[in-house]
Amino acid sequence: MIVNGIERPEASDPRRLLSDYLRHDLGLTGTHVGCEHGVCGCCTILFDGRPVRSCLLLAVQARGHELATVEGLAQPEAPMHPVQQAFKECHGLQCGFCTPGFLMATVAFLREFPDPSDAEIADAIAGNLCRCTGYANIRRSVRRAAELSRQA
Amino acid sequence: MTTRLFGERVQRLEDERLLRGQGRYTDDLGNGALECAFVRSPFAHARIHSINATAARALPGVVAVYTAADVPFGDLDLPLLIPHPQLTHPRTQKCLASSIVRYAGEAVAFVVAESRYLAEDAADLVEVEYEPLPAVVTPERSAKAENLVHADVPANSAADVTQAVGDVDSALARASHRLRRRLRLERSAAQPLEARAVWARWDAVEGRLTVYDSTQSPTSIRGGLAVLFGLPETSVEVIAPDVGGGFGPKIMLFNPDELLVPYAAMKLGRPVKWTEDRREHFTAVTHERAQVHEVDFGFDDGGKLLALDVDFIHDAGAYTPYGLILPIITAAQLPGPYRVPNYRVRFRDLYTNCTPTSPYRGAGRPHGCFVIERVMDAIAAELGLDRAEVRRRNLLQPGDFPYSVGTMWQDGGMAVYDSGDYPELLRLALERLGPKPEGDNIGLGLAMYVEGTGVGPYEGAHVQVLVSGKVVASTGIPTQGQGHATVFAQVVADELGVSVEDVTVTSGDTRRFPWGVGTFASRGAVMSGNAMANAARAVAEKAKRVAAEHLEADAADLELAGGEVRVKGSPGRSLPLAVVSILSNPLRYAFGGGDEIATQFQPRPRPGPPLAEGEEPGLEATGYYSPSPGSTWAGGCHAAYLRVDPKTYRLEFLKYVVAHDCGRVINPMILEGQIQGGVAQGIAGSFYERLLYDEEGQLRNASFMEFLMPYATEIPDVEMVHLETPSPLNPLGIKGAGEAGTIPVAAMLASAIEDALGVRIDEMPLNPNRLFELTR
Ligand code: FES
Ligand code: FES
């Protein structure tokens, strides 16, 4: 499988969750785990470009697929991705635990809806829980991310 | 001085790391550590006849299985954190239960294995023989005491406390109007998105224990572990790295894992990590909110409240590790922003066979607010008066401060409001809210609140200017998203005249700052903010003393600005802070540069030893802040227009306004984030979430699938108006704000729904089904 553009070895344990594989075998701990039952969205990654919950997949199911995690959004020395930048500008995170999931969901959403309405934004992130921000600044962040992405 | 950063919308310094996926939450660390799983009681109340771990121990990959009999602290009661003379029957749980379990989820055995997967396999193999006992589930049932939670606690009552101000009985008898209400709040849970986690390693050569803990109070955990393991405190390090939300249940409760993980690491000589899963978080981690209040009140024809008599029962759950704090807070600040001349409050803290309770954002305050605000609305309804007008007639006035409520406060003193302007808050909220929109089923909700914040005893901070001129600062309290790295940097940067990017703040790491209390009760900004200011001021004074010698000026004529110490009014005469830092340590710096100015061959203007008497080397200082008993009291008003769909009973917020006053504001952007988040948690707990225990004491909805937390589609944008009445109690004039968003939401929603549907609301949380029933 390919993760953030790099070919990675297969998971050895057939029952290993994809989220555990990414976090603990590859050390990509930016993908978080908030429930391990598919509701919170903290573990959202892109699977062949589509947002999926990595806690609901086994690592072996990713064989032959292309995955992207939050670490792949921008190279360490490069400026942040417009979506990351927007979340910073709009104070779209507090504890930051839900954030990677929101970022990945937003990246996928804006590819399909580069100029979304407010209702579309709320719907697009309504699969991700945040316990800190009360969402207002996350909605603003997504709106700002759309602006920044269009400028980019 | 350069532009002040205090009060500015400074963007957060911690964000970039978190946005790039480079956060360090406890489970992100310690790869390769042994992993663990708990065996937890499936029964709410049962006697344990036997525990057999033979099969579990035999499973390949299992390193150890601990039961109470296997650990030296197996018989020890976990700490009672806040004893109280009136807490007559405190009970705390054992680390691992061996003879009796009192809630479903109580820990019975602890498995350590090569991986979490194997640990869970082994946990399934531990055989425990239980004899179920009758479970006591609601506080009402507990009050009846048909069954006991603890055989030696009569009436299931941990405490029975009464306080009174004035003469309630005669005032009630004389009042021209008198009403009674029974107001009930249900259990709820904080549910931070990061559950709890602990990772420990033991360095046998140095005799040092290092613990990473997703806690709100690493300093307290360190103190407790040092005593438990007989180590000097200096040999125990506890670090709260990034913490994914706290909201109360991560306060230093000494959960079983906080003892067992370090113990296993020491015993096994390998790093050990435990990460809680969501299902166990639901039952193993403390809840809050369940209270039932019998309220009797009298008022005059003008709507003035004359007497208030409240008798309430608090659902403590199975144990009381946090003492009486929750009911004490409710009782103390129940009168809210109103003058209540005759007030009597009695509470009983009752055991049930449910998960124990401890503070959750609001911590007893939402309950008190719900009671007094329901009373205000009831008076308005009874007399046919406007709800805002009734409040206006009862509010304390700006000239009334300091105002003593006459009740005992959580810091051991009396509840005394320090400052505020409540009528103005009401006015500001209503002004911003504007006229009611046209349409059916629209309600106006209104609720006011006070919040005792910034409780002591103290916090401290350390600030140091490095030889690079950069500044490092640290404090004992950790952050769970409140932006400590930014707001404390703002405070320090102002005092030292440097830019905010030059200040790096570490919080919640006992290696960097070993003293402190914790992040809870809206105390972080008040306590550590003022400690930071004290420390930074001491550094600034020192910088002036050191620079004065070299600038041949009087220290009093110097100022810190633009990263320099300079003579006021003579811009040419200055020294960069970096150089002052070098000078403060009479030594040579091989790589730092600037050694030519600090060398002993450089003539010094001042005779005597290189380090002046009484002076310490290094441009650094430690500062503390400890308030004299008394909290800073924030206040505010929530007002909203809400539409209730007459068919689905869904809520639609048309407008939600918060007018609030938390004294001087360090960073309005962060403050607004706290309030918006607090309102969301308030709405969540008032209309969506509820913990459903059945008769047997089983939590029936212990997952995010059935415990409905709202998403972005349910929570409105909150409009905010700031009023700043500086607190006279601390140098920065600030008050806490962490809980302000949550406290009045239940009361406000009750008020709005009552107005929209015309049904009386006496309980929280509600949901569409319940509204449907109430309107039948
Ligand atoms: S951890 Fe995957 S959805 Fe919550
Ligand atoms: S920022 Fe803490 S959960 Fe979203």
Residue found by looking up tokens 């806490």 in the block: B736
The minimum CA-CA distance between B63 and chain A, rounded to whole Å, is: 19
Same domain, A93 and A145: yes
CA A63 from centre of chain = 20
In this complex, the residue of B31, B193, B672 whose CB is nearest that of residue A97 is B193
How are strands ordered across the β-sheet holding B127-132? B100-101, B46-52, B127-132
User: For position A135, which CATH number holds?
Assistant: 1.10.150.120
Same domain, A126 and A64: no
Q: With beta carbons under 8 A apart, name residues in chain A contacting B23.
A: 29-30, 96-97
Nearest-CA residue for ligand 2 atom 4 is A130
In the reported structure, the alpha carbon of residue B118 is separated from the centroid of ligand 2 by a whole-number distance in angstroms of 30
Distance between CA atoms of B27 and B30, rounded to whole angstroms? 7
pLDDT tens per residue across span A9-51:
988 899 999 999 999 999 999 999 999 999 999 999 999 999 9
Report whether pLDDT(B591) > 80.
Answer: no
Report whether pLDDT(B1) > 50.
Answer: no
Q: Which residue of A has its CA nearest to B669?
A: A91
pLDDT tens per residue across span B498-514:
999 999 999 999 999 99
Within chain B, all domains assigned CATH 3.90.1170.50 are found at 18-133+194-244+250-284
Residues 6+ apart with CB under 8 A from B104: B40, B41, B42, B43, B44, B283, B353, B697, B698, B699
The answer to whether B476 touches B505, Cβ cutoff 8 Å, is no
Report whether pLDDT(B289) > 90.
Answer: no
pLDDT at B454: 84
Alpha helices in B606-712, H assignment, sequence order: 668-683
Same domain, A104 and A136: yes
Restricting to B residues 669-708, those with a Cβ less than 8 Å away from any Cβ of A are: 669-670, 672-674, 676-681, 703-705
Same domain, A46 and A103: no
The answer to whether A24 touches B23, Cβ cutoff 8 Å, is no
In the reported structure, the alpha carbon of residue B351 is separated from the centroid of ligand 1 by a whole-number distance in angstroms of 34
Report whether pLDDT(B615) > 90.
Answer: no
The answer to whether A135 touches A143, Cβ cutoff 8 Å, is no
Same domain, A15 and A38: yes
Same domain, A105 and A60: no
pLDDT tens per residue across span B423-458:
999 999 999 999 999 999 999 999 999 998 888 889
Assign B601 a pLDDT band (cuts: 50, 70, 90): confident
pLDDT at B2: 46
Same domain, A48 and A89: no
pLDDT at B588: 61
Residues 6+ apart with CB under 8 A from B191: A131, B247, B281, B689, B707, B709
Tell me yes or no: is domain B291-456+628-775 CATH 3.40.50.10470. no
pLDDT at B408: 87
Best of B193, B278, B745 to substitute, by most chain A Cβ atoms within 10 angstroms, is B193
Once rounded to an integer, what is the mean pLDDT over residues B23-32? 96
Assign B80 a pLDDT band (cuts: 50, 70, 90): very high
In the reported structure, the alpha carbon of residue B256 is separated from the centroid of ligand 1 by a whole-number distance in angstroms of 25
| Structural fold of domain B457-625 | Aldehyde Oxidoreductase; domain 4 (3.30.365)
Three-state DSSP class for B57?
helix
Please give the interface size between A and B, counted as residue pairs whose CB atoms are below 8 Å apart. 177
Residues 6+ apart with CB under 8 A from B398: B420, B421, B422, B423, B424
User: For position A65, which CATH number holds?
Assistant: 3.10.20.30
Helix axes B387-394, B422-433, angle to 10 degrees: 160
Once rounded to an integer, what is the mean pLDDT over residues B72-95? 95
| Number of residues assigned to chain B | 776
Cβ neighbours of B304 (radius 10 Å): 16
Distance between CA atoms of B489 and B498, rounded to whole angstroms? 10
With CA atoms as reference, report the closest residue to B536 among B569, B502, B508, B582.
B502
Q: With beta carbons under 8 A apart, name residues in chain A contacting B669.
A: 91
Structural domain contains residue A100: yes
Cα angle, residue B653 at apex, residues B647 and B659 outer, rounded to 5°: 150
Same domain, A57 and A96: no
Mutate which of A132, A135, A138, A141 to test ligand 2's pocket (most atoms within 8 Å of Cβ)? A132
Within chain B, all domains assigned CATH 3.30.365.10 are found at 291-456+628-775, 457-625
In the reported structure, the alpha carbon of residue B274 is separated from the centroid of ligand 1 by a whole-number distance in angstroms of 18
**CA distances (Å), origin B676, targets A91, B509, B671, B745:** 12, 28, 9, 11
Give A55's Cβ-side CA count (13 Å radius): 17
In the reported structure, the alpha carbon of residue B194 is separated from the centroid of ligand 2 by a whole-number distance in angstroms of 9
Strand partners, A7: A2
Structural domain contains residue A14: yes
Same domain, A66 and A100: no
Distance between CA atoms of B153 and B47, rounded to whole angstroms? 17
Flag if B709 and A131 touch (Cβ within 8 Å): yes
Distance between CA atoms of B671 and B38, rounded to whole angstroms? 38
CA-based Rg of chain A, rounded to a whole angstrom?
A: 15
Last residue of a domain, one of A72, A101, A128: A72
Cβ neighbours of B415 (radius 10 Å): 25
Beta strand extents in B151-260 (DSSP E only): 157-165, 177-185, 197-203, 208-213, 236-239
Same domain, A39 and A101: no
**Rounded percentage of chain B residues whose pLDDT exceeds 90:** 85
How are strands ordered across the β-sheet holding B291-299? B157-165, B342-351, B305-317, B291-299, B177-185, B763-764
Structural domain contains residue A77: no
Q: Which residue of A has its CA nearest to B279?
A: A35
Structural domain contains residue A25: yes
Residues 6+ apart with CB under 8 A from B374: B181, B183, B295, B747, B750, B761, B762
Mean residue pLDDT across chain B: 94
Tally of structural domains, chain A? 2
Last residue of a domain, one of A54, A72, A90: A72
CA A34 from centre of chain = 13
Once rounded to an integer, what is the mean pLDDT over residues B183-212? 97
Report whether pLDDT(B723) > 70.
Answer: yes
In this complex, the residue of A73, A87, A132 whose CB is nearest that of residue B245 is A132
The answer to whether the CB of A57 is under 6 A from ligand 1 is no
Q: Biggest alpha carbon distance in chain A?
A: 44
Same domain, A128 and A146: yes
| Structural fold of domain B18-133+194-244+250-284 | Aldehyde Oxidoreductase; domain 3 (3.90.1170)
Which of A7-16, B624-633, B676-685, B717-726 shows the lowest mean pLDDT across its residues?
Answer: B624-633
Instruction: Give me the domain span that covers residue A42.
Output: 2-72
Q: With beta carbons under 8 A apart, name residues in chain A contacting B673.
A: 91, 94, 132-134, 137
Distance between CA atoms of B42 and B319, rounded to whole angstroms? 17
Same domain, A111 and A139: yes
Ligand 2: residues with CB < 6 A are A 93-99, 130-133; B 193, 245, 481
Residues 6+ apart with CB under 8 A from B384: none
Which of A128-132, B434-438, B518-522 shows the lowest mean pLDDT across its residues?
Answer: B518-522
Distance between CA atoms of A44 and A23, rounded to whole angstroms? 12
First to last CA, chain A: 30
Report whether pLDDT(B305) > 50.
Answer: yes
ipTM computed for the complex: 0.98
pLDDT at B4: 87
Q: With beta carbons under 8 A apart, name residues in chain A contacting B16.
A: 80, 84, 88
CA-based Rg of chain B, rounded to a whole angstrom?
A: 28
Q: Which residue of B has its CA nearest to A83?
A: B19
Structural domain contains residue A97: yes
